[in-house]
């Protein structure tokens, strides 16, 4: 990844102009998806089609094979985390999100995913921390702001 390009896009995520932020977000996602070239992108696309068709085991197999082949491909881990989250396996999703952030600490999508997993598991304090980390990267993210408020309410209600 071109760190100069990424750094400038990260700065654009903090721009008050929503158009600038949206454009930067799309560019960052494109960089992440294309990190391993056409091979990785094709497998991710195929896994998404399998997931959309309800062929979850096949999608998981494709992503797991890609992860074994290219363990430093953060987006492969992120796509598998999404798959696990979508079937309610929050522990596996959380573990994959943590791998994404270990590989790519600025992956706001994985940080958001971690927050969603923690919230689904009732660990609201951890969810708040994950959403706040995502907000450090994308300060205008209304969804993360909203989820912090919801988790804060739930945390103060049940103390977790």
Rg (alpha carbons) of the chain, rounded to whole number: 16
Torsion of Cα atoms, 32 then 36 then 41 then 42, to 10° = -170
Structural domains present in the chain: 106-160 (1.25.40)
Tens of pLDDT along the chain (160 residues) come to 556 689 999 999 999 999 999 999 999 999 999 999 999 999 999 999 999 999 999 999 999 999 999 999 999 999 999 999 999 999 999 999 999 999 999 999 999 999 999 999 999 999 999 999 999 999 999 999 999 999 999 887 765 5
pTM here? 0.92
């Amino acid at each position: 990844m071109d760190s100069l390009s990424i750094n400038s896009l990260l700065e654009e995520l903090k721009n008050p102009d929503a158009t600038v932020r949206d454009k930067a977000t799309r560019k960052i996602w494109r960089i992440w998806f294309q990190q391993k070239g056409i091979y990785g992108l094709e497998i991710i696309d195929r896994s998404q089609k399998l997931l959309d068709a309800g062929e979850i085991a096949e999608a998981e197999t494709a992503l797991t094979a890609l992860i074994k082949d290219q363990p430093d491909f953060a987006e492969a881990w992120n796509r598998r985390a999404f798959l696990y989250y979508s079937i309610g396996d929050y522990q596996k999703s959380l573990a994959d999100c943590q791998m994404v952030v270990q590989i790519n600490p600025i992956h706001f999508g994985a940080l958001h995913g971690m927050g969603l997993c923690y919230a689904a598991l009732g660990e609201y304090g951890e969810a708040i921390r994950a959403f706040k980390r995502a907000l450090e990267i994308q300060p205008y993210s209304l969804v993360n702001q909203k989820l912090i408020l919801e988790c804060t309410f739930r945390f103060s209600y049940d103390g977790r």
